[in-house]
A and B are shown apart, each in its own frame.
Chain A
Amino acid sequence: MVNSARLRWIAWALGAWTAVVVGRLVQVQVFDHRMWEAESARQREGTIEIEEPRGDIVTRDGRLLAGSLERVSLYANPRQIPRAAWTKVASGIAALVGQPAATVLAELEGHDGFFYVAKDLDPRVADAVSRLRQRGVGTLRTERRVYPNGALAGPTVGFLDAEGHGQAGLEAFYDRTLRGVPGVYRVLRDGKLSPTQLDPRLETPGRPGQSLILSLDCRIQQAVEQELASTVARTGARGASAVVMDPATGELLALGSAPSYDPGHIGQSPPDARRNRAVEDALEPGSTFKPFIVAAAVTAGVLSPFEMVDCSGGGVQIANFFIRDHARFGLLPVREILAKSSNAGAIRIAYRVPPDHLDEMIRAFGFGQPTGVGLPAETRGLYHGPRFWSVLSRAGLALGQEISVTSLQLAQGYSVIANGGMLVHPRLALDTRDRDGRSVAPAQPEPGIRVMPAVLADQIATMLESVVEEGTGKAADVPGYRVAGKTGTAQRATRGSYTGGRHVAWFAGFLPMPDPKVVIVVCVDQPVSDYWAADVAAPAFGRIASRVVTLLSLMPEGGGRA
């Protein structure tokens, strides 16, 4: 006899159980469908980023300073290759990578899993590998950075690390622009949940790196580097740097540093050669700083450009210190103070200028702050405001001491004199272009900031012309051209004193007068055979300038480019 009440209870219980199961199924399959699908995909799949081709670095005249070549790496995974096929696979791979089959076989036997058989191979190897149709052997696309012009502008271009990230120079500063955006691919995970390269599906398309168009002129850069290398070799200097700049736009035509290095063989260069001395070495500018003192005095209204200044006595007494001049002068006009580089005259002028105004003018010329040229290790130099000045500070500044500047900062300062009194920041990057050569972000020339009246800038430029005509800078002359400039020989401080017998030779100038098209600064650090700027830096300036006017087809007498 069947107990119908018990049966009913069992039926109810089973029915309730079935309803719970069905409800849960509906919840999982219908309502939480997306969440569980995503969770499943998360466990099963992962994403990898595949780098897009890196952009080029190109000079304004179209020379390639840095470019990338597509290469492939060949890998093998012995676990996925049947043991019996190893010999055949080894001989097949060996023919592709140019290694003995025995070596490849030994590699297969020596590895337990994935390993690279060879890297940096021709992309055609990828086709040959796919024709092998062998599971466990494949290729991955890679890229090799190439610097076809070798060491040319090496410290400015910089270099990459093994992962392809910029480590110095423009490669580091514009790394994101040059790298572009890597493409994101969805791939299967392996047993250890690590993403594999199997069956990649594009999830987010990448963007190839953009090319950087520089203001550098390859020919001028080469001329500058050649001259710096020969100057360093001839004088036994520790290093040298030079800047060639368009004073109207701030575009840098050359940025030289010696010794230099080849970014493609970075391991072969000593660490000291990897510095871009033009922006990383801050040195006392010596007498090249005197024109800025004159500009400060005239704008403060305490000096007339045509005034006679007392430079007698062979020096000047400041508090308890007597600062000697290098010759005995009498009354000198301001023009001759610069031409003869009279220390006493410059100091007397400096002490007429109120400290705050002197500080304001020094900063207005761009000293004590980075120029923002777009190089990662650029220094701001060394300059302290009046709060930290001693009684001797203004004398030190008049002689180009108590301040350290880079060659680039000095070029920026001299550009103010050359272009009629406007501060224009130097710039290296003119444009960025996409893979098809379309302009993406052209740099707009900045209007400049007025530092001093144009009349005063012209007067100081004329004074500097006399430095080359009849003063200490005769060796900077370029036959047929009117050149303006200033020498500077600074003692190099070692452990807080100037007794080390080390010097820095400078020459900063511009041409062709009266409408200068280029500003050139040459700095020779610690020359041994001779250290006077008139004998070391000025001749180097002259040789660079004569090459520049030829390369740019500059007409004498400021006639503009031919």
Chain B
Amino acid sequence: MNVGGYRPSNSWLRRQLDTSWHRWVALCFAGAAAVSVVMAAFIAPRQATLRMQYEIAQLSHSVDHLEGEQRRLLLEREALTSPALLATQLDTLGLVQVGPDRVGRLTPAGDLVLPKPTATPARPNPARRSH
């Protein structure tokens, strides 16, 4: 509701100066520091966890790569040492196939069993024709 001719005046107010403002500022700083310490204590472990997770992710990637490389090398080694390949390279590698007639055996009792000498290996008689 408007009252004609009335103008409010605040000239009767007098400025009041806060003489203890520095105490309030110090309290604010102290509060901020306390909150920071509490938050740091709360966040720091999580931050460490986060950093470890990041490192684990990176290392997992490396492990995957290395496992893949290990797998590739394993397959390569298998191929290079396959019996079929070795059989074709016996002369190059200085290897000789050994038959049972050249192998002596140690029995569980410690006796050496030498192969029976055979004069001539039994081979088919070409003249013999049988089922």
Contact of B124 among A148, A151, A474, A488 (CB under 8 A): A474
| Closest CB pairs A-B (n = 4) | A148-B78, A222-B83, A148-B79, A341-B131
What separation, in Å, do the CA atoms of A124 and B66 have in the docked complex? 11
Chain A minimum-CB-distance residue to B125: A474
Known contacts being A67-B71, A532-B129, A550-B103, is A222 close to B118, with CB within 8 Å? no
- A interface vs B, CB < 8 Å? 63-64, 67, 69-70, 123-124, 146, 148-152, 218-219, 221-222, 225-226, 286-287, 326-327, 340-341, 343, 471-472, 474-475, 477-481, 487-489, 532-535, 538-539, 546-547, 549-550, 553, 555-556, 559, 562
Residue among B65, B116, B129 with the most chain A CB within 10 A? Answer: B129
Is B44 an interface residue, CB under 8 A from the partner? no
- The 14 sampled A-B contact pairs (Cβ below 8 Å) are A64-B74, A123-B65, A148-B76, A222-B84, A226-B87, A326-B131, A471-B130, A472-B130, A477-B122, A479-B121, A534-B129, A550-B99, A555-B107, A562-B106
Chain A minimum-CB-distance residue to B124: A475
Contact between chains at B100 and A481 (CB < 8 Å) = yes
Residues of B within 8 A of A64 (CB): 74-75, 78
Contact between chains at B101 and A480 (CB < 8 Å) = yes
What separation, in Å, do the CA atoms of A546 and B99 have in the docked complex? 6
Residues of A within 8 A of B65 (CB): 123-124
Contact of B115 among A146, A480, A553 (CB under 8 A): A480
What separation, in Å, do the CA atoms of A550 and B105 have in the docked complex? 10
Known contacts being A64-B75, A70-B71, A477-B121, is A553 close to B130, with CB within 8 Å? no
Query: When A and B form their complex, what is the total count of cross-chain residue pairs whose Cβ atoms lie within 8 Å?
Result: 120
With both chains docked as a complex, state the minimum distance between the C-beta of B89 and any C-beta of chain A, in angstroms. 13
What separation, in Å, do the CA atoms of A27 and B43 have in the docked complex? 45
Contact between chains at A63 and B84 (CB < 8 Å) = no
Residues of A within 8 A of B87 (CB): 222, 226
Is B123 an interface residue, CB under 8 A from the partner? yes
Contact between chains at B100 and A535 (CB < 8 Å) = no
Contact between chains at A152 and B84 (CB < 8 Å) = yes
Is B82 an interface residue, CB under 8 A from the partner? yes
Chain B minimum-CB-distance residue to A538: B124
With both chains docked as a complex, state the minimum distance between the C-beta of A475 and any C-beta of chain B, in angstroms. 4
Please, how many residues of chain B have a CB less than 8 angstroms from a CB on the other chain?
37
Residues of A within 8 A of B124 (CB): 474-475, 534-535, 538-539
With both chains docked as a complex, state the minimum distance between the C-beta of B64 and any C-beta of chain A, in angstroms. 8
Chain B minimum-CB-distance residue to A553: B105
With both chains docked as a complex, state the minimum distance between the C-beta of B58 and any C-beta of chain A, in angstroms. 12
Contact between chains at A341 and B75 (CB < 8 Å) = no
Contact between chains at A475 and B123 (CB < 8 Å) = yes
Is B68 an interface residue, CB under 8 A from the partner? yes
What separation, in Å, do the CA atoms of A562 and B83 have in the docked complex? 23
Contact between chains at A219 and B83 (CB < 8 Å) = yes
Residues of A within 8 A of B131 (CB): 286-287, 326, 341, 343, 472, 487-489, 532-533
Contact between chains at A550 and B75 (CB < 8 Å) = no
With both chains docked as a complex, state the minimum distance between the C-beta of B41 and any C-beta of chain A, in angstroms. 36
With both chains docked as a complex, state the minimum distance between the C-beta of A500 and any C-beta of chain B, in angstroms. 18
What separation, in Å, do the CA atoms of A327 and B130 have in the docked complex? 8
Contact between chains at B122 and A535 (CB < 8 Å) = no
Is B98 an interface residue, CB under 8 A from the partner? yes
With both chains docked as a complex, state the minimum distance between the C-beta of B75 and any C-beta of chain A, in angstroms. 5
Residues of B within 8 A of A559 (CB): 107
Contact between chains at A555 and B75 (CB < 8 Å) = no
With both chains docked as a complex, state the minimum distance between the C-beta of A327 and any C-beta of chain B, in angstroms. 7
Chain B minimum-CB-distance residue to A150: B84
Interface residues as binary, B38-51 with A (CB distance below 8 Å gives 1, 0 otherwise)? 00000000000000
With both chains docked as a complex, state the minimum distance between the C-beta of A538 and any C-beta of chain B, in angstroms. 7
Interface residues as binary, B60-82 with A (CB distance below 8 Å gives 1, 0 otherwise)? 00000100100110111011001
Contact between chains at B100 and A480 (CB < 8 Å) = yes
Contact between chains at B107 and A63 (CB < 8 Å) = no
Residues of A within 8 A of B98 (CB): 550
Contact between chains at A123 and B68 (CB < 8 Å) = yes
Contact between chains at B101 and A150 (CB < 8 Å) = no
Is B3 an interface residue, CB under 8 A from the partner? no
What separation, in Å, do the CA atoms of A287 and B131 have in the docked complex? 7
Contact between chains at B100 and A478 (CB < 8 Å) = yes
What separation, in Å, do the CA atoms of A67 and B87 have in the docked complex? 22
